[in-house]
Amino acid sequence: MSLKTKSQLPNRKSIRLQGWDYSNPGMYFVTIVLQERKPKFGEILNKTVILNEIGKLIEKWWISIPNRYNNASLDSYIIMPDHLHGIISINESVRAIHESPQPIEEDIHSRRQMTLSKIMGYFKMNTTKQINLRQQTPGNQIWQRGYYDRIIRNEDELHNIQNYIKQNPTASH
């Protein structure tokens, strides 16, 4: 079996907004989806999401994001049986709390910026690890590759997305 070179691998098209710096301050509506959309986080009863143990684990990791990234905050979110919708605010260039302070003389452009993708990667990696530990399924892929995002540009858009998140359980059944 031969190894493929980079040019032989499929070229995946980015769904990120071209030219946008995802470490910029702003609000982002994100959606992450379970592999094969198999419901693992709970069920919907009477238009209400009832989280199971794994769903509660997902919620614990989601609400811990600001503890890890001090300039990130959360707004509305919903954990559905097979996906998660949430609003993340990046209040200024975000760095992980546990990182060593950067030397003052270091060029500001060479610092490791904590972008939205790094926050999402941290969340997905840790939830995958915890779920696989609980289910004794090491290496099992939990999430679909990547995530969907939308840059929230104004208050009207924010309110529409907050309402969408709130209504998601009633709309799915």
The per-residue pLDDT for 24 is 72
> Model-level pTM?
0.78
pLDDT at 169 over 80: yes
Q: Which long-range contacts (CB under 8 A, 24 or more apart) does 34-38 make?
A: 34/82, 34/83, 34/142, 34/143, 34/144, 35/141, 35/142, 35/143, 35/144, 37/82, 37/83, 38/82
78 pLDDT band, cuts 50/70/90, is: very high
In the 8-state DSSP scheme, what is residue 35?
G
Count CB atoms within 10 A of the CB of residue 86. 22
For 152, the 3-state DSSP assignment is strand
**Among 29, 39, 25, 20, which Cα is nearest to 81's?**
39
**Spatial distance between the Cα atoms of 46 and 13, rounded to a whole number of angstroms:** 39
Query: What pLDDT, in 10s, does the model give residues 36-77?
Result: 999 999 999 999 999 999 999 999 999 999 999 998 999 999
17 pLDDT band, cuts 50/70/90, is: low
Contact 34, 83 (CB under 8 A): yes
Task: Look at the block and give the residue holding tokens 């309110």.
Answer: 159
The per-residue pLDDT for 94 is 42
The per-residue pLDDT for 103 is 47
Q: Which two tokens stand for residue 16?
A: 């990120």
